[in-house]
Structure 1
Amino acid sequence: MCYGISIYLSESDTFNKNWIEKAAKNGFQYIFTSLHIPEERDVDFIKQVKWLGNTAQSFHMDVMADISPASLERLDLGISELPSLKDWGITGIRMDYGFTAKQIAWLSHSLKIGLNASTIDEVQLKELVDEGLQVTQTEAWHNFYPKPYTGISSHSLKARNDLFHRYGIKTMGFIKGDDLLRGPLHEGLPTIENQRSTTPVHGSFELSELGTDKICVGDLNLTDQTLEAFRYLMDGIVPLYVDISEGYVNLYNSVHTNRMDAAQYVIRSVESRTKPSKWLQEIQNPTCFTKGTITIDNQLYGRYAGELQICLDDLPANPKTNAVGMVRDESLPLLKYVGSGKKFVFLNQQI
């Protein structure tokens, strides 16, 4: 899985450089930028695109630029001159509209090409291949949708991904940010409409589950806490924000592994039983351990004492088991991604 960020040339160089640097340090690998956004008419595109390419290279990040025929005028380039964008530090171009199949196929021999995954159909895709499109140099990039209720469904995205995968083309989708949301609407920039109300981490897991190969933050940035979560995610660890009871705070930042023989109703930590434990029974009054309850078996459970579990459903409370914490609401949807042999970590985000 590959992760990227979006850079908007109307933002200040200082803001953009700080975000690029922070993203690069946290494992993000590429940059998306658009050269035909209506709100960016006053940008000196030649200067800013060269600045972006140079800055991205200094942090070892690729740049994909969304272009249109109008963009070429702003850049003072013709179609035949587009390969020279590599000299500006631009890795590839997403060709949205206004270009012929022959032009796109020709350019794929010298630049990475991004097709519009949300709009191109199979007839057009076949035409591109027939014209000599280099599929190994081609990706399919979904749109993001600033206006609420205009994003596509998860079913539609999966179908589109499947189409491009049949031709050996990787796909990219956008997730929203959670710090500064881009204007003018400030409603988030996801590909899937339902992700407008979810966390970026949840959106990333969902896109991956739907077969998306690359994931890009559509908005201006992410909070430091979310960047921390993405560091774990990139290492194959599911980050769970939790509240831990006093006396058990050593569980924060601890990485666990769900058993290979994953249980139906609970996540069972392999690591929690590697050493003998004698957890004392705590007097607790709940009649039910609700979904997301973190438990540790006490000494009444004999050889199971010390086993840490997370409830995947509402379960009857047990005097042999201590409730020691709770997965926060925003992380509950991530529990389904803690499958057989999957690692997870408990994080303590300031609310």
Structure 2
Amino acid sequence: MCYGISIYLSESDTFNKNWMEKAAKSGFQYIFTSLHIPEEKDVDYVKQIKWLGKTAQEFHLEVMADVSPASLERLGLSFSELPSLTDWGISGIRMDYGFTAKQIAWLSHHLKVGLNASTINEEELKKLMDEGLQPRQTEAWHNFYPKPFTGISKASLYERNALFHRYGIKTMAFVHGDDQLRGPLHLGLPTIENHRHVTPALAALELQEMNTDKICIGDLNLTNKSLQELKFVMDGTVPLYADLYKGYEIFENRVHTNRMDAAEYVIRSVESRHKPSHFQQEAHELELFNEGTITVENELYGRYEGELQISLKNIPADAKTNVAGRIKKESLSLMKKVGSGKRFVLLNSEVK
């Protein structure tokens, strides 16, 4: 799994460099930029793309640039000169429209090539392969959708990903940012419409579930909170904000693993069983452990004493079980992503 950010050349160099530095330190690996955005006027594309390539190399970030035939005019390049973009620090280009199958296939022998995953059909893909397209040098990039209700469905993305994977081509999709949103609408830039109003971390986890190989932040940047969450997601860990009660702070900020034989009703921490602690019975008057309740088995549960669980559904309360805290409402959706063998971490304070 590979994560990237979007850089827009109409933003200031200072803004873009600060975002690149922060992203690189957080584990992001590549940059997407576009050379044919209608709103970007009076941009010296040659100067800016060279600056971007050089700066990206300082932070060890690859750059994929979205181009069209009109973009080549702005850059002062002919099609056959596109491989020289590597001298500018550009790793590859996403070819949106206006190029022939023969041209795209030829370029894949010289640069990394991005196809439009949302529009190309299998017949066109077969033609590209017949022309000599190099799958290992090719990626399929989905679009992002600034206008509400125009993004694609989860089912569509999953099917499109499966199509490209059959040909050995990796896929990429966008999640929205949540700090400074890109204009002109400022309503987020996701690929999937239903991701427009969820957290970037949840959107990224769902894209992972749909076998998306690369995930890119479509908007200008992220809040520190979302950046922290995505750092955990990139590491294969689901971040859950929780209110842990006094005496149970030992479970916070530690990485836990849900059992491989995942239960239907609860998440069970493997590590809590391996590090047994003594927990006396604590009386409670609950009849149910509601969804999101964090519990720890007490001494009355014998060999299960010390096991931490999180209720996925409402279950009957038990005197052999202590209430250790609750998953915060904002993390209940993320909690559902802690599947078989999945790591998770309980965070007791938010990054501002």
Task: Tell me the TM-score normalized by structure 2.
Answer: 0.96
2:328 maps to which residue?
328
SS in 2 for 1:152: coil
2:279 maps to which residue?
279
**Aligned AA for 1:73?**
E
1:30 maps to which residue?
30
Structure 2 distance, partners of 1:275, 1:16, is 45
Instruction: Tell me how far 1:273 sits from its aligned partner.
Output: 2.2
Q: Deviations over 1:190-237 (max 9, x none)?
A: 100000011111111111111111100111111222222222222222
**Aligned AA for 2:305?**
A
Q: Deviations over 1:246-269 (max 9, x none)?
A: 332332211111123222211111
Structure 2 distance, partners of 1:343, 1:322, is 23
- More divergent stretch after superposition (21-30 vs 332-341): 332-341
Residues 144-159 of structure 1 aligned to structure 2 (within 5 Å): 144-159=144-159
- More divergent stretch after superposition (181-190 vs 139-148): 181-190
Structure 2 distance, partners of 1:270, 1:334, is 19
- Tell whether 2:304 aligns with 1:311: no
1:348 maps to which residue?
348
Task: Tell me the TM-score normalized by structure 1.
Answer: 0.96
Structure 1 distance, partners of 2:260, 2:207, is 24
Q: Deviations over 1:251-295 (max 9, x none)?
A: 221111112322221111111122342212223222211111111
**Aligned AA for 2:221?**
N
2:17 maps to which residue?
17
Q: Deviations over 1:102-146 (max 9, x none)?
A: 111111110100000000111111111111111111000000001
**Aligned AA for 1:283?**
A
SS in 1 for 2:242: strand
SS in 2 for 1:73: helix
- More divergent stretch after superposition (265-274 vs 55-64): 265-274
CA contact (8 A) 2:200 2:230 kept: no
1:298 maps to which residue?
298
Unaligned runs of 5+ in 1: none
1:256 maps to which residue?
256
Structure 1 distance, partners of 2:167, 2:300, is 58
Instruction: Tell me how far 1:37 sits from its aligned partner.
Output: 0.6
- More divergent stretch after superposition (240-249 vs 15-24): 240-249
Structure 1 distance, partners of 2:345, 2:134, is 41
Structure 1 distance, partners of 2:243, 2:300, is 25
2:126 maps to which residue?
126
2:58 maps to which residue?
58
CA contact (8 A) 2:3 2:28 kept: yes
CA contact (8 A) 1:268 1:309 kept: yes
Percent of aligned positions that are identical: 70
Structure 2 distance, partners of 1:61, 1:156, is 30
Instruction: Tell me how far 1:349 sits from its aligned partner.
Output: 4.1
Aligned length: 351
- More divergent stretch after superposition (253-262 vs 161-170): 253-262
- More divergent stretch after superposition (223-232 vs 275-284): 275-284
- Tell whether 2:264 aligns with 1:269: no
Instruction: Tell me how far 1:59 sits from its aligned partner.
Output: 0.7
- More divergent stretch after superposition (276-285 vs 171-180): 276-285
Structure 2 distance, partners of 1:284, 1:158, is 45
CA contact (8 A) 1:174 1:189 kept: yes
Q: Deviations over 1:164-193 (max 9, x none)?
A: 111111100001112211112111111000
1:136 maps to which residue?
136
- More divergent stretch after superposition (168-177 vs 251-260): 251-260
2:339 maps to which residue?
339
Structure 1 distance, partners of 2:90, 2:161, is 25
1:167 maps to which residue?
167
Structure 2 distance, partners of 1:33, 1:171, is 17
- Tell whether 2:228 aligns with 1:218: no
- Tell whether 2:35 aligns with 1:3: no
Instruction: Tell me how far 1:73 sits from its aligned partner.
Output: 1.2
CA contact (8 A) 1:237 1:344 kept: yes
CA contact (8 A) 1:199 1:330 kept: no
Instruction: Tell me how far 1:18 sits from its aligned partner.
Output: 0.6
Structure 2 distance, partners of 1:299, 1:39, is 65
**Aligned AA for 1:326?**
R
Structure 1 distance, partners of 2:284, 2:176, is 40
Cα RMSD, aligned residues only: 1.4
Structure 1 runs (4+) greater than 3 angstroms displaced: none
Structure 1 distance, partners of 2:177, 2:14, is 19
2:84 maps to which residue?
84
Structure 1 distance, partners of 2:158, 2:22, is 31
**Aligned AA for 1:99?**
F
**Aligned AA for 2:8?**
Y
Unaligned runs of 5+ in 2: none
- More divergent stretch after superposition (58-67 vs 277-286): 277-286
- Tell whether 2:199 aligns with 1:185: no
SS in 2 for 1:233: helix
Structure 2 distance, partners of 1:217, 1:201, is 11
